[in-house]
Amino acid sequence: MNKYFDVIVIGGGHAGIEAACAVSKMGLKAGLFTMERYALGRMSCNPAIGGSAKGHLVKEIDALGGVMGIIADNSGIQFRVLNRSKGPAVWATRSQNDRELYSEAALNVVDSCSGVCIVEKSVTDIIIERNITKGVLTKEGEFIGSKAVILCSGTFLNGLMHTGRNQFQGGRFGEASSTGITDSLVKVGFETGRLKTGTPPRLRKNSINWEILEEQPGDENPEPFSFRTDRSRFPFLPQLSCYLTKTNSEVHKILEKGFSDSPLFMGLIKGVGPRYCPSIEDKIVRFSDKPQHHLFLEPEGLDSDLIYLNGFSSSLPAEIQSEALFKIKGLESVEMVRPGYAVEYDYFPPHQVDLTLETKLVAGLYFAGQVNGTSGYEEAAAQGLIAGINAALKIKGEGEFVLKRSEAYIGVLIDDLVTKSTDEPYRMFTSRAEHRLILRQDNSQRRLSGHGYRLGLLSEEEFGYCERDKKIFNFGLEFCNQKKITPGKVNLLMEKNNSPTIEFSESIAKLCKRPEIQLEAILKLLKEEYDPIVDELLNNPDVIVQLEVELKYEGYIDRQYDAVARLERYENYNIPLNLNYLKLKGLSTESREKLIKIKPRSIGQASRISGVTPSDISILLVYLKK
């Protein structure tokens, strides 16, 4: 085994995969340390990728040259675009995945990166000298050197699992926890805390009465996550349905019987749980006025006989979980293969990392994923990608890579973590992005593929594909604004869609602003004119979607770009990282403490820190101008 790597990545989950692959694509050697190579990307909880806001992250990862979208496409057994009935800012792709095939696809992707070496060893210590990372120490006492270390340990740092009063050491079912790393980092001055997450019981497929449940099929024409996926062969696997059921008052009463043995209510669990994905017992207490809660029965794989009961995460005693399940519609004779459990783990409050995800205390040490206090595969993968990119850039002496809030959901995610920190599992929502109408999933390639190509994560061929679509989009936008259609050609379409007819020729752009009129339908009226741009557009449905959104929401989009431009001067107004805030007179005590803690890079970032007031910002501006 190698005794030295350019970058050592600790953890083979979603963050670790992205970090290692990014380092490899950028021409360096990465050692990916994991306890089991065949567990790469293992879906510890729900076997699904994407969803509201999370789908945006996957699309952005893909546009930058990351790999999560490709892995999801190759293992997906159901694909749906959520929120179709709402505005385009919140449309989000989601896939249900085969748990085993996802790990298999992840291993294939990692193995295809020639610069990644998978090391099946447990790391117990990160070696730091004079606040500079030097490498790691394995459980066997072996030192492996590196120029940078990326910690992506998920829920494994001092992981402790709970089911009722029973406690087990472990990071997830059947896998040991990781010890030693937290202690080694606390010794050099890092602050640590405990968080909690959970998972629902797994059910035997053949013991469920499917006929009386509400079916939820995937989309008729499914869309992949990755622009690199071959659409002519997609989807690659047979597609399955999920099913919907609900709890009821009888179920709630049974679960309440176990509250006296609940580790959550007894105080055995010290870590804070996810606010937006609570356990079923937490839901009953917090939403006591609700007589029922939705549950989703989701297959774990094509050949698996296990069903994941989404919405029923629990750490109650196993016998209580089983008794309650029998009272749920469709589960009257269900077999519970494995009870749900909660897992507590160490994390490092993320104010301790910079926007590059390098720690402020130790040079060359990066944190990514749940160690930064986030929940979810997609949030972890996004951080792993950014950490891998920045570790490689630093080693190569090529600066750093930071995405702004106005550029990507990834920028929002990392800025939120660093600037606001968190004391509970952070989850991405579209509402967290103030510029979400310009950060749609449909325009991810236009926004970010240039970065991916410049960094070396996208090949020339892949970038050329993005540039071709961008060129078609720009031509299409100009065409729609300039091309006018006569009443005789379009009024039949207007009448068919209950839209007022026109008396004079109007541009495609103006007609397309009508909610009931679709751009594709207008373009089909022009096919006989044999205009090459019309044929080009009709052969590129993704571009048509982007054009239609841009045309229908033009005024709103322009306003968001104006807002970004107004705020840009504050984002570009840099603050020296070594600024001594103790010397600034007039700052409030709270503001001074927060500024010293966060060390904001710009006036824009400083203004988003809780406790920093507009008057504090004015004092900062006056001082910096001097």
Surface-to-core class of residue 491, CB atoms within 10 Å of its CB (0-12 exposed, 13-18 middle, 19+ buried): middle
**pLDDT > 80? residue 2:** no
Give the model's confidence band at 44: pLDDT under 50 very low, under 70 low, under 90 confident, else very high: confident
- C-alpha span between 83 and 73 (Å, rounded): 20
Domain 4-200+345-455 grouped into CATH 3.50.50.60: yes
What per-residue confidence (pLDDT) applies to 72? 98
CA-angle at 40, arms to 39 and 44, nearest 5°: 65
Per-residue pLDDT, averaged over 589-605, amounts to: 90
Instruction: Count CA atoms within 13 Å of residue 83 on its CB side.
Output: 19
- Give 389-413 pLDDT, tens digit per residue: 999 999 999 999 999 999 999 999 9
List the strands of the sheet with 160-163, edge to edge: 166-169, 160-163, 341-347, 193-199
- Strand segments (E) across 398-481: none
The pLDDT value given to residue 288: 83
| Model confidence at 173: pLDDT above 80 | no
Q: Where are the domains of the chain?
A: 4-200+345-455, 202-339, 460-557, 573-625
Q: Determine if residue 123 is left, alpha or beta; phi over 0 gives left, psi from -120 to 50 gives alpha, anything else beta.
A: beta
Please give the pLDDT value at position 276.
Answer: 67
- Mean pLDDT, rounded, for 9-21: 97
Is the pLDDT at 147 greater than 70, yes or no? yes
Name the residue among 431, 458, 334, 393 with its Cα closest to residue 66. Answer: 458
Q: In sequence order, what DSSP letters do the residues of 458-476 get, joined into one string?
A: S-HHHHHHHHHHHHHHHHH
How far is 167 from 165, CA to CA, in rounded Å? 6
**442/271: higher pLDDT:** 442
Q: What's the pLDDT tens digit per position in 348-368?
A: 999 999 999 999 999 999 999
Computed over every residue of the chain, the mean pLDDT equals: 92
Segments in 26-131 forming alpha helices (H): 54-64, 68-75, 99-112
- Cα separation, 458 vs 449, in Å, equals 8
Question: Closest by alpha carbon to 258, among 339, 336, 328, 332?
Answer: 339
The pLDDT score that the predictor gives to residue 168 is 79
CB 572 within 8 A of CB 602: yes
Using the predicted structure, report yes or no on whether residue 295 has a pLDDT greater than 90. Answer: yes
| pLDDT for the residue numbered 179 | 84
Q: Read off the pLDDT of each residue in 165-170 and give the average, rounded to a whole number.
A: 78
Name 24's Cβ contacts closer than 8 Å, sequence gap at least 6. 30, 113, 114, 115, 116
- The percent of residues in the chain predicted with pLDDT above 90, rounded, is 73
pLDDT tens-digit profile of 469-520?
999 999 999 999 999 999 999 999 999 999 999 999 999 999 999 999 999 9
| pLDDT at residue 365, rounded to an integer | 98
pTM for this entry: 0.94
Coil/strand/helix, residue 108: helix
CATH for the 573-625 domain, from 1.10.1200.10, 1.10.150.570, 1.10.3720.10, 2.60.120.260: 1.10.150.570
Closest CA to 425 of 324, 350, 506: 350
Average of pLDDT values for 320-336?
A: 95
pLDDT of residue 406: 94
Q: What are the tens digits of pLDDT across the range 563-574? A: 899 888 888 889
Q: What is the pLDDT of residue 522?
A: 93
Window from 186-195, 264-273, 421-430, 492-501 with minimum mean pLDDT? 264-273
pLDDT of residue 302: 96
Q: Return all residues near 458 (Cβ < 8 A) that are at least 6 apart.
A: 64, 65, 449, 452, 466
At 539, the amino acid letter reads N
pLDDT(1) > 70:
no
Non-local CB neighbours of 211 within 8 Å, separated by 6+ positions = none
Query: What is the CATH code of the structural domain delimited by 202-339?
Result: 2.40.30.260
Arch. (CATH architecture) of 460-557: Orthogonal Bundle (1.10)
What's the pLDDT at 110? 97
Confidence of residue 5 (pLDDT cuts 50, 70, 90): very high
- pLDDT-based confidence at 143, cuts 50/70/90? very high
d(CA 560, CA 184) in angstroms, rounded, equals 46
- Please give the average per-residue pLDDT across 377-392, as a whole number: 98
Cis peptide upstream of residue 515 (ω within 30 degrees of 0): no
